[in-house]
Amino acid sequence: MHKSILSVLILLLISGCEDGNKSDLTDAESRRRAITQKITVSEAAGESVLVVGDEIITSGQIIATPVEHSEMVVSLAEHFKPIAQSGTLEQFKKWARPEFEEFLMSKVTEILLYQEAKRQAGKNVDEALEKAAETEVRKLILDYGGDQAKAEEKLKQMGMDSKGFKENRKRFILTQWYIASKLSDNRPITYTELMKCYEQAKERSFVIPVKLQFRLIDIQPARLEITDPNQNRLEQAKKLAYELIKQIQTGEDFGELAKKYSHGHRRDFGGLWQPVQPESLAKPYDILAAEAEKIETGQIAGPIEVEGHIFIMKLEDKCSKSYEPFEKVQEQLEQKIIFNRRKDAFDKLNAEITQQVALGEKDEFIDFCLEKIYQMSD
């Protein structure tokens, strides 16, 4: 979600909250109230359902939940299908239960966080949420070039429609508001923190890699016509290479000589290659990276003999490895620190909920879901 949307939403929500709804999550009693909702298993429409506070989780909802599987988005049932097909029901329950229980716990945690967020936001939250969710819907459509049909097709692949997406974003936005307004570490970000973050992230995120640009005369002996019966093609290629180097040293234009004598794929461009990273050069051209290390811009290397080729290289440009300057990425670093603070706080709360929430009769519900998945996998 865009930072601006979250900021506006926080202002709307805070202005709409009544004093009686405010609480500090560092207070243990408030935390207990948020996580001790009654969680039970019940019956609805002939099947087991999990009741979390004032919400019901059905087996169908859980089984149809989209998840990532082998770089694709599939339902939870499809995710477990290969496991279900590889053993008996009891074996499947044993194998799938830990992952399924972790997933279910995650869903319960999301619901509890949402319910607490809704309780704290008060009665005036709906209008602000509607505006923020509408913005998210418009953004989704714009991501697909304004084509609403394409956006809806993507949603369909994710197991939801536009209405479901909107409701999903409302819940997400409200929960994020809750985390941002109640859990964020609002201490000012210091220069020391920024520099530490920069040093930790620069190798991964801010590297400007080594780049080379060169011209190349690529003489391939197999493609030469024999002009001297007393020389083989390799000897003739070496002789030509030394003659060309002499011409270059006396002022002949390297590019023009490349157009005339090179057999390489860049001959029509005067042998000029696009800038490349040294490690991207495939054999036999990888040898050029090592040769480029030995010379400076404007100098010539060669003849360089490798199997099937004799190279003459002129180094046009060489950029050493460097990093984006701190000043240029400072805003990114600030956002990263804010994100990490929120994530740490969320993880702490999530761990606390996981430790304290007892799912009670969850085993009955989990068994029901796993048996249903197993039956669907036949």
List, for residues 294-318, the tens digit of each pLDDT value: 999 999 998 999 989 999 999 999 8
User: Do 184 and 222 lie in a common domain?
Assistant: no
The pLDDT-based confidence of 360 (bands split at 50, 70, 90) is low
Percent of the chain with pLDDT over 90: 36
User: Do 218 and 180 lie in a common domain?
Assistant: no
Across the range 101-116, mean pLDDT stands at 84
User: Do 113 and 144 lie in a common domain?
Assistant: yes
Confidence check: pLDDT of 7 > 50: no
Q: What is the mean pLDDT of the chain?
A: 82
Confidence check: pLDDT of 72 > 90: no
Last residue of a domain, one of 278, 304, 320: 320
User: Do 165 and 99 lie in a common domain?
Assistant: yes
CA atoms within 13 A on the CB side of 128: 23
Domain membership of residue 258 (yes or no) is: yes
Amino acid at the residue 133: A
User: Do 283 and 183 lie in a common domain?
Assistant: no
Q: Which of 68, 134, 62, 72 is nearest to 101 (CA)?
A: 62
User: Do 108 and 21 lie in a common domain?
Assistant: yes
Q: Where are the alpha helices (DSSP H) in 217-319?
A: 233-249, 254-261, 287-293
Domain membership of residue 149 (yes or no) is: yes
CATH number (domain holding residue 238): 3.10.50.40
Q: Where are the alpha helices (DSSP H) in the chain?
A: 3-16, 28-35, 59-64, 76-84, 89-121, 125-143, 148-157, 162-182, 191-205, 233-249, 254-261, 287-293, 326-356, 362-376
User: Do 170 and 114 lie in a common domain?
Assistant: yes
Q: How far is 230 from 234, CA to CA, in rounded Å?
A: 12
Across the range 83-112, mean pLDDT stands at 89
Q: Residue 17: what pLDDT? A: 41
Give the least confident one: 181-195, 329-343, 344-358.
344-358
User: Do 289 and 177 lie in a common domain?
Assistant: no
Q: Is 339 exposed, middle or buried (0-12, 13-18, 19+ CB in 10 A)?
A: exposed
User: Do 261 and 336 lie in a common domain?
Assistant: no
pTM of the model: 0.52
- The total domain count for the chain is 2
Q: Tell me which residue range forms the domain holding 347.
A: 3-189+327-376
Last residue of a domain, one of 320, 335, 358: 320
Percent of the chain with pLDDT over 70: 85
What is the CB neighbour count within 10 angstroms for residue 241?
A: 20
Domain membership of residue 200 (yes or no) is: no
Domain membership of residue 144 (yes or no) is: yes
Amino acid at the residue 123: K
Last residue of a domain, one of 291, 320, 349: 320
Domain membership of residue 134 (yes or no) is: yes
Domain membership of residue 201 (yes or no) is: no
User: Do 216 and 234 lie in a common domain?
Assistant: yes
Euclidean distance between the first and the last CA atom of the chain, given in angstroms as a whole number: 40
User: Do 180 and 240 lie in a common domain?
Assistant: no
Domain membership of residue 78 (yes or no) is: yes
Domain membership of residue 205 (yes or no) is: no
Show the tokens assigned to 324: 């984006």
User: Do 131 and 183 lie in a common domain?
Assistant: yes
Say whether 148 sits in a helix, a strand or coil. helix
The pLDDT-based confidence of 148 (bands split at 50, 70, 90) is confident
Q: Is 312 exposed, middle or buried (0-12, 13-18, 19+ CB in 10 A)?
A: buried
